Structure 1
Amino acid sequence: MPGKKHPTRSRTPNSPPGERLPRPVYERELLRLQTELVKLQEWVRVNGVRLVVVFEGRDAAGKGGVIKRVTERLNPRVTRIVALPAPTERERGQWYFQRYVQQLPTAGEIVLFDRSWYNRAGVEHVMGFCTAEEYERFLYQCPIFERMLVQDGILLRKYWFSVSDAVQEQRLRNRLEDPVRRWKLSAVDMESITQWEAYSRAKDEMFAHTDIPEAPWYVVESDDKRSARINMIAHLLASVPYREVEPEPLRLPARPPATGYQRPPRDQQKYVPDHAALMNEDAGDG
Structure 2
Amino acid sequence: MSSSVPWYIKAVLRLAIPAACLAALYLSIPGEVTLAKTAGWSAHYAPAMPVCLSVYALAAGAISQFRRKMQLPGERTALLGGVMALLLAMGAQSISHLIEQSYMGTSWGLVVAVSCVPPLVIAHLIHMAETPSEVRTVSEEMEELRAVLLTFTAESAASLIGRSQSLVKQCNTVGTVVGELVKAAELENSRWEEALHEAAKEPRPVSLAERIEQTRQSLGSSVTVAKVCEALGISSATYYRHKAAERPTAGMIPLPI
What TM-score, normalized to structure 1?
0.20
- Greater relative contact order (Cα < 8 A, sep 6+): 1
What TM-score, normalized to structure 2?
0.21
Structure with higher helix content: 2
Structure with higher strand content: 1
